[in-house]
Amino acid sequence: MTKAKKISIIDDRTAFGQGEADEFEKAVKAADGTIVARQYNDNQTVDFSAQLTALKGVGTDLVFFGGLERQAAAVAKRMRQLGLTAQFVGGVMDADFLKPAGEAADGAIAWEYGSPLERLPQGKAFSEKFQKHFGVAILSYAPFGYDAAWAAINAMQKA
């Protein structure tokens, strides 16, 4: 993929989605990138036609979505339906994104914090314990939450 020249952002105005989008915007600007548009919705939006039509109008070549996976899937699908060929970038893209996005997930890029679980020294063991304990596949942010909880527990014990 070539470097994007016209970058656009959509976020859902939640603490998570807007925070993720704000951090993405900071990273783009720190790399001397250009944000050409920023659109908003709420976390209940199901039709992103208005936002995506506006982004298509400015000739965006990369769309970042800050929000949860199911809405990200709806954005990716609607981009395809509208003929918007911009690169789609979202936050965490697990099964909650991949399944509803279907073919629109092809080529999507995830901007995820931290190293992928399979690259962590204890990643495989952590994933297996998580699945055994909770009965579901590991959530992508679980290792970070686990580490944060233990950092807090250790700090309280030392205090």
CATH code where residue 92 lies: 3.40.50.2300
Q: What is the mean pLDDT of residues 39-47?
A: 92
Number of structural domains the chain divides into: 2
Q: What is the mean pLDDT of residues 89-118?
A: 82
Identify the pLDDT of residue 114: 64
Q: Are residues 82 and 48 in the same domain?
A: yes
Whether residue 12 contacts residue 67, with contact meaning beta carbons closer than 8 Å, is answered with: yes
Q: Which of 93, 110, 127 is the last residue of a domain?
A: 110
Identify the pLDDT of residue 154: 93
Q: Are residues 105 and 151 in the same domain?
A: no
- Name the pairing type of β-strands 87-90 and 35-40: unpaired
Percent of the chain with pLDDT over 90: 60
pLDDT of residue 28 exceeding 50, the answer is: yes
Identify the pLDDT of residue 111: 73
User: Does 78 map to a domain?
Assistant: yes
Confidence of residue 1 (pLDDT cuts 50, 70, 90): very low
User: Does 1 map to a domain?
Assistant: no
Q: CA–CA distance from 98 to each of 17, 81, 117 (Å)?
A: 18, 17, 18
Strand ordering across the sheet containing 35-40? 35-40, 7-11, 62-66, 87-90, 109-110
pLDDT digits (tens, 9 = 90+) for 58-71: 999 999 999 988 99
Cβ contacts of 93 within 8 Å, gap of 6 or more: 69, 72, 105, 108, 110, 112
Question: Where in the sequence is the domain holding 101, given as residue range(s)?
Answer: 7-110
Q: Which of 77, 95, 110 is the last residue of a domain?
A: 110
d(CA 139, CA 144): 10
Q: CA–CA distance from 84 to each of 2, 15, 40, 45, 141 (Å)?
A: 17, 27, 18, 19, 30
Q: Are residues 11 and 86 in the same domain?
A: yes
Q: What pTM was computed for the model?
A: 0.74
